[in-house]
Amino acid sequence: MLKHDYMKVSQDQPIYSEAPLQLLLFVDGRPKSRQQVQRIRAYLKGLEAEYSFELQIIDVGQQPYLAEHFKLIATPALIKIHPEPQQTLAGSNIIAELKNWWPRWQTAVDAFLKLQEDFQERIEEDGRGTSPQSTIRSVAVSAELIRLSDEIFHLKQEKEKLQEQLQFKDRVMSMLAHDLRSPLTATAIAIETLQSNYNVEVGEFQRLKPAMTAHLLKQARNQTRIIDRMIADLLQVGRGHDTEFPIVPQKLELAKLSLEVLEELRDRYIAKSQKIETDIPNDLPRVYADPERIRQVLVNLLDNAIKYTPCDGIISLAALHRTTQKVQFSIGDTGPGIPQENRERIFENHFRLQRDEGTDGYGIGLALCQRIVRAHYGQIWVDSAPHGGACFHFTLPVYPS
């Protein structure tokens, strides 16, 4: 509860009387501030014998929402909340300001009381015989209403956030069940084929050539990696933006890692007859980055490039030593591209372009890429590719030599 400290004309006045002049004094715990507050209260104490007013002391440490509501940037601060208009006195010279404004405040009080008196007389002349309800709202009630309105606002925000999370969860669970079916089926077929052709007695795969055996093993391995990545991405993004995002940076050859990821996705882009173009200089310096995290970035960006590039299209990988401290890596495609107005929003969690609503995916891949790159003190953005489509760029720090 708020602390109340009321100053009134006489002891006969009720403790919760609604005085025509209502003041809030915002304080904090600093020793210097405490001395100033004591002087302000002493000055107001000297006025209470002659004037009727209601004063409430508010500690901003205990009631920060009130300081936010009144848009205070410094304390102590004295606020007149009635009669309107509201007025704030703040700074190191509040008493001097108070001396200047007090006569004007009393004039406003007199005008308000005169209006109330005239209104009362009109009611009595009309013969209604009932007193109007005071338009003055006590400090305690005002503060409580402010607190409740702020709580309602925050509860509405929480409700909207929870509803969005529940909708996202339902959508993700549905898509996860669908998306997992393909790699699980491919893995099962590869393993069953290997198992049915394996002769335990001689320890060999019968009716399978070595090249086919190697291909099936590679297929099973790649598909299980896809499943693992899908689950890892969901778990990581599900932890939210406020949780710690750990990375373990080390010396990393970005060109080599990108080619390894391309090899993992080889079956996918070959199935669509897509052409891969690379422009990676041989003297590209090593970067200081977490290999597994950057693998996630490369897989997500290349996965999107393959997904949205049509059959016989082109996917490009390029790198350059942008500055002495940064390396820039770019992945382009010849797909439909990203509209200018959505190039910032596509990195938001759960955001998807309207055209992609029927496409596999969760709307979390680019959000995860942004978190990873930023955790490395890099940047990620998208613009138009030279041959149409989209081109994603990200930067990473150069490994210190």
Give the CATH number of domain 250-397; options: 3.20.20.10, 3.20.20.70, 3.30.1360.10, 3.30.565.10. 3.30.565.10
CATH 3.30.565.10 range(s) for the chain read 250-397
Residues of the chain with CATH 1.10.287: 154-238
Class of CATH domain 154-238 = mainly alpha
pLDDT score of 305: 92
Q: Would you say residue 392 has pLDDT above 80?
A: yes
Based on its alpha-carbon atoms, the radius of gyration of the chain, rounded to whole angstroms, reads: 35
Give start and end residues of each alpha helix (H) in 70-138. 94-125
**Domain 22-137 carries which CATH code?**
3.40.30.10
Contact 232, 292 (CB under 8 A): no
Q: Which residue has the tokens 């998208």?
A: 382
Assess whether pLDDT exceeds 50 at residue 13.
no
Cβ atoms of residues 250 and 290 within 8 Å = yes
Which range, 51-60, 169-178, 349-358, is most confident? 51-60
pLDDT at 244: 57
Report the predicted TM-score, pTM, of the whole model to 2 decimal places: 0.48
Domain ranges in the chain with CATH number 3.40.30.10: 22-137
DSSP secondary structure code for residue 126 in this structure:
T
